Amino acid sequence: MKRTSHEQHYLLSAKARSFSLMDIARLADDEAWELFKEARWPEGVACPKCDHKEHYWLGTRKQWRCKCCKHTFSVTSGSIFSNHKLPLNTYLMAIALYSNCAKGMSALQLSRDLNVQYKTAFVLSHKMRESLMDAQTAKLDDEVEIDAAYVNGHVRPANHIANRVDRRKKENQDPNKRAVLVLRERHENEGEGGFKTVTAIAKAETEESVEAFVARHVEPGTTISADESNAYNSLHAKFKMERVNHSVEYVAKCGANTNQAESFFSRFRRMQLGQVHRFGNLYLDRYANEAAYREDTRRKSNGAIFADVIGRCGAAKVSREFCGYWQGNKKQAETLI
Ligand SMILES: [Zn+2]
């Protein structure tokens, strides 16, 4: 089906309730190019350098030249897929596979599905994760839940009882242990669950890390629900607090609960155990944010998620952390609150 340039691709339209991988696989090169262009610039092609909207079209090279700054750019220039080596179709397929996996996807599986090298799939999936990170600037208000869970801290007990140590003591714990903190705003319609989720990584669930996290994301006047952990005690000075004691009950008599935050951790754990297996601390913030994105989009059609992720991949700037990854340009330090 031929479309005129101003018509929206059906995969991007609100009517696209779902799509199949076959739809993507059947796209010819120029259709994949068109789809990517529309997702990247829904308001019309704009220069990635100066955002100017007037340009010359260099047809034979499939590029534009900005009338303002004279910058020459292609459909992927300045996006996370700039200098791409694979056909655009393969990237769209990667986004489609990634959007369809409600519990995340391992790089190994992606490499098998796309028939690309493992390292290509690894960088690709991290670039997609990176494009979702803008959710981390969100401000939450109204009713918010906070919770934390530990990862990478499991110390296997020694075989013989005589060799076992007290794993509760700090000196016997794994130094890689990290706390994943989550804040979720509840939907105003009861029953719709959480809908805006932010995450952060800390060395431990403490008053200091919790205060820094809350200060970054929570508006004054918000009601915060938390469990009985001492880390949340200092929040009483600034916010209206609802507490639930999980060793006694999951929903307090007053209705206080952290069920939406628990729901996030449930998905996060299934992503860890079932797909990614190992959450390295270097990129732990990315995995936590990915689980948050998937949790927040759980009621959207896969077509809508697909369109959203392509839009983000197009809008995201060249990946600083994964540009030239295999030439030695690696992220140096983990991101802690
Ligand atoms: Zn320009």
138 alpha carbon to ligand 1 midpoint, in Å?
Answer: 29
**pLDDT tens digits for range 85-142:** 788 889 999 999 988 877 888 889 999 999 999 999 998 888 888 888 887 788 998 9
Alpha helices in 132-224 (DSSP H): 207-217
* Integer CA distances (angstroms), 246 to 232, 257, 270, in order: 14, 9, 21
215 alpha carbon to ligand 1 midpoint, in Å?
Answer: 37
**What would the two tokens of residue 337 be?**
């609150």
User: pLDDT at position 320, please?
Assistant: 62
CATH 3.30.420.10 domain residues, the chain: 138-155+164-296
**What letter would DSSP give residue 119?**
H
48 alpha carbon to ligand 1 midpoint, in Å?
Answer: 7
* Integer CA distances (angstroms), 238 to 200, 215, 241, 242, in order: 20, 10, 9, 13
User: pLDDT at position 234, please?
Assistant: 93
262 alpha carbon to ligand 1 midpoint, in Å?
Answer: 46
36 alpha carbon to ligand 1 midpoint, in Å?
Answer: 20
Ranges of residues in the chain with a pLDDT under 50 are: 1-2, 16
130 alpha carbon to ligand 1 midpoint, in Å?
Answer: 25
56 alpha carbon to ligand 1 midpoint, in Å?
Answer: 11
66 alpha carbon to ligand 1 midpoint, in Å?
Answer: 5
133 alpha carbon to ligand 1 midpoint, in Å?
Answer: 26
Q: Domain 138-155+164-296 class? A: alpha beta
Continuous segment of H or E residues that includes residue 202: strand 194-202
47 alpha carbon to ligand 1 midpoint, in Å?
Answer: 5
State pTM to two decimals.
0.84
Distance (Å, rounded) from C-alpha 167 to C-alpha 174? 9
320 alpha carbon to ligand 1 midpoint, in Å?
Answer: 21
Distance (Å, rounded) from C-alpha 300 to C-alpha 279? 26
45 alpha carbon to ligand 1 midpoint, in Å?
Answer: 11
Sign of the Cα torsion 13, 16, 17, 22 reads negative
55 alpha carbon to ligand 1 midpoint, in Å?
Answer: 8
**pLDDT tens digits for range 131-185:** 888 877 889 989 999 999 998 877 677 788 888 877 777 777 778 889 999 999 9
109 alpha carbon to ligand 1 midpoint, in Å?
Answer: 39
68 alpha carbon to ligand 1 midpoint, in Å?
Answer: 5
123 alpha carbon to ligand 1 midpoint, in Å?
Answer: 28
Please answer whether residues 110 and 94 qualify as being in contact, where contact means their C-beta atoms are separated by less than 8 angstroms.
yes
218 alpha carbon to ligand 1 midpoint, in Å?
Answer: 37
Distance (Å, rounded) from C-alpha 129 to C-alpha 302? 17
